[in-house]
Chains A and B, each alone.
Chain A
Amino acid sequence: MLFTSYEFILFLLIVFILYYVVPKKLQWPLLLVASYVFYFFSGPENLLYILFTTVSTYLIVGRIQKSKDIQEAYLKEHKKEMSREERKAYKEVGKKKQWKWLLLVLILNIGMLAVIKYTNFTIHNINGVLELFGSDQQLSFLDIALPMGISFYVFQTMGYAIDVYRGKYRAENNPFKLALFVSFFPQLIQGPISRFDDLAKSLYEPHRFDSRTVAFGLQRILWGFFKKLVIADRLLVAVNTIIGDTETYRGAWVFVGMMFYALELYADFTGGIDITIGVAEALGIKVTENFIRPYFSKNIKEYWNRWHITMGSWFTDYIFYPISVCQPMLKLSRFSRKHLGEKVGKRITVWLSCFVVWFATGIWHGASWNFIVWGLANCFVILVSQELEPLYRKFHSRFHVDGTFGWRLFSVARTVLLMSCLRTFDCYRDVPLTFRMFGTMFTDFNWGELFNGSLMGLGMTLADYGVVIVGFFLLLGVSLAQRKGSVRERIAARPYPLRFVIWFGLFLLVILWGTYGIGYDASQFIYNQF
């Protein structure tokens, strides 16, 4: 059930009505039922995977919690009899046991994800190696379809398991409440990857109908629809045309495709998240923001703090930090400092942790070398920027550019361009082709071919270009206005007729300009595939 389908709108309408009509204590069970119904429509067999994650997490994390409780009770009871060392040793034993349980739940779930998502990728690589060595033996591919949103709910649930293990909060006692946390339907398709302590309270507590909250939620949904249907899906046709014909569309066309894709991806992903957050908001539930105007970032590090924030923070909290402070890494740090000097030595572990995080980020996005190279390319750029930071500072102070509008604008443009370049790995079939096509921007670049009418051959009419331009400036205007606070709040403070014109106007734009219905292919959200 696509977010932009009639079925979803009807489904949403029924859920909204029931949600505010049923007794408040039945609101969260209703959401659980709705979430499973929603997931059922993605393929009944997919329910098995989400049930597996839910049940295994409930049982195993429950054991971790139980072990913690027993340990705590024992320590409390024997506080006076035990020395500090004894208590520490006792805790260590408990921790080891809990660690084993955690390891089990991680292996089961990440293992399930890995098998489903990466088996064919692994087979593809093994076949490649066999071919390289002249073997005519080839392994057969498995017929496995990737269940909708599996990367998101597995990561979200594993975050919960690790947090319980770390003692950040207690495990959820009610299996159905945990099931809702895992499967909450608005964020099943493309996140955000919520934290249990952020989401749980508002997910389970009763909500009374508040017209302002509901209106705000609907407005956010509408804005998401605008981004997705008016901009992203319109550009999709042109992007697919460019990347689908690498013989014709080279040089300047690669640049055009790259910039179109940057806008398409932004409108698609942020539009989807707007719908997610809007749906939750209309139900009175607060979901974590996933974007803070990422294309206004002045460097790539800042960009990654503002784009897909929940994924970035997940990798930081559950991969980067644990790796940085694990025993082998600490040993390596000591070793490298001793042999390479303090300055370089202490950075080795940071570089290595960064490498692991970006490798994981890449492969999380998709089982292909393109995504791995894309992740590592991001890592490379971030590390180089980090290492050159002192040089940049010198340059800024020498030429007094820091803080000037021109320099900020340049920095933003540079970041957008850099990110767009890296995103070309999303587009082309394989890594060599990506490099080849990227290279044509420097060898075959010819502005002229863009203005001989060929732009109309990308599957977009003049009217489509007009809509994209208007949409782009609307996005830009709203993003600029957001820097001074919530745009919806400010609109809400205006007189009713103006509010009506704004929101009804936006509704009409979606209705008229939206790419939906006959003649348009219903397009999945790009992040749905991850």
Chain B
Amino acid sequence: MRLCRLLPFALLFCLSLGAQDPVLKDTFLQGKALWATQGDREGAAARFEKVVQTLAPQAASLEAAWIQVLSESYNWLAVLDDRHAQGKPKVQGHLQALIDLNPDFEVDRALTSQRLVALFDRLKAEKYAPVKLSYAPEGGILTVDGRPSAALPRKFLPFGARTLRYSRPGFAPAELSLEIAPREAKAADFTLARTSSAVTLHVQPSGAEVLLDGRSLGHTRGQAGPEALDLAVPLGLRPEDLSEAFVIADLAPGKHLLELRAPCFRAKVLQLDESLATPWADHTLEPLRLEPSKGTLSVTSAWAGGELFLSGQSQGPLPVSQLPVCSGPYDLLVRFPGGGFSQRITVEDGKALAVEARPKPRLACLGLEGETDFTGRARFLSLLDALGAQLQQVAYLPPRPGETPKQALARVKASREAELILLATPVPDKVIHRIELMVATLDGEEDRLLVKPLEQDPLGPLAARLNTVPPTQEPGLGLSLLDVPGEPGPWVLAASEAAQKAGIQVGKAITQANGKPLPSVRDLRLVMAGAQGSVALSQGGVPVVLPIQSEGLEIPLSAADLCYPSVLAHLRLQYAGAKGDEASLARLNLGLALMHFRKYDKAIDLLRDARLSRVSGVSQGTLDYHMGLCFLRLGSTYQAEAAQAFRQAMKYPQATLLGPDGPLVAPLARQALEDLK
């Protein structure tokens, strides 16, 4: 527990050390300069003390360069303290710390007095004995008792039994044991036998994944040192621009495919010739440079207030235009004040990707009501958790662990983080074999569905209904077409003025669309679905190009395959992002959805202020007719208003119900008016 509390502080310390790297190095160099140029012993000692205080607690995990800095600092402190009476007692401590840190360290004899050197050697001889080592070939890795240690020709090892192991890629490692005793010099020779070729490579940038024949070997890391100077300079690079050496050992005979991958860079694939594998040898490849790979992303939305997130990272409010993005896959998410939009995208190198974000309603699952146990409860709960994977038209927020449905409802209502809620309630019985699924809007419009917990896919019907969104528009050409048996294609029953001006002849069949035979009305719909902007139709003569227009549709009042709370939520979002006729059409359909819930007063409220500029198809007359129906449903009090609405509807003789080819509104309104009399 105490450790846990200390963890954040330790983390902060590490971060601060990293941040202090240049400062610490500077402090170390200042110490040296103060003594060398000004003879400022106190100033120099203070700086070395600071370096020691910072690095000593981390000694076990320091990199080689910092161990060297720390070792030199101990050496300097011993020398400086030795020159001052009050510091003399600390000298032995500095030397002892130096030996414990790095017994192989050679004190600077130009700086250190003979007496101190002798003291250093004496102290070292109390615990360590020298061992003379030879390595063939050199450049490998030495471990002493399993811990990495510099592969020096002379090393000081602590007394006792020691295991030394020397290895190098492409060679079989060698291991030997030594018994280190006081005043007894030992020697050991490592001669490694080659077992394969080894290929060394440096990559720019560092951090690239290295794959050999499709198998990942790891990632390059760090920065190359001065030893890579000869490799870097010809390419106009500095050594630190390259990664540390990455060695591919155990290269099997034959050709190999080497692939390098790094985020934001184009993958690079090169073939390793078989001469690299046999005969066995060490090879160093020319540094490999990966080319940056980026595309641009533009995200727009007709809905206000969206904020873009790419794989969890905020990219700011919409619209986002030509945002440079590393190529690759992303989870694109746009959070709107109401609803959300998510899409898995792949940004391609050098290409521009544009996304139109249309918010989806969010469905928050409140969970399973009550604690009643029943067979299949655990399975049902896990299915509820995973329901989101089946939903395409709503964003699913799974139930939160440990939260009761009541608490979840309070949370959702307070935060408005979802437009829809889902609650599962077991239907009370001796044995629970039915569960009621309720989907509702936050305003209380609800839909219920009974399912059996033990059936194969109890949430399948709900998912199907949630995934069904009725269209409110369809593409059209201003034509009424019939499939007349015996005619070669769709027969033109009626055409708009524009279509007739363009050359369409009423009473004649259309034989071709976009140059291809057109056997039926259904085929024309398919052509329109795949066309962009216009369709060229032929009635046997010169093709006539007609623009594709959007024609309004009504949602059905009570279709079994729809989840009406979800339909309402979709339409509300659609309305929020729509203007003009599109907004009025959304209002009309919102009114119809409310009529489904028999909320005729609310429907009237919506329909009253909607104005459709269209006069044919689903248009203002349609809207007026529905308003009349709503007033009728409110009872005799509103008969006058109903009659007025029907009279209004009759003013639009071309207005239809359902869609552009639906029944005319006027005769229905006329009849309704007569019935009112």
Question: Bound pair: A and B?
Answer: no
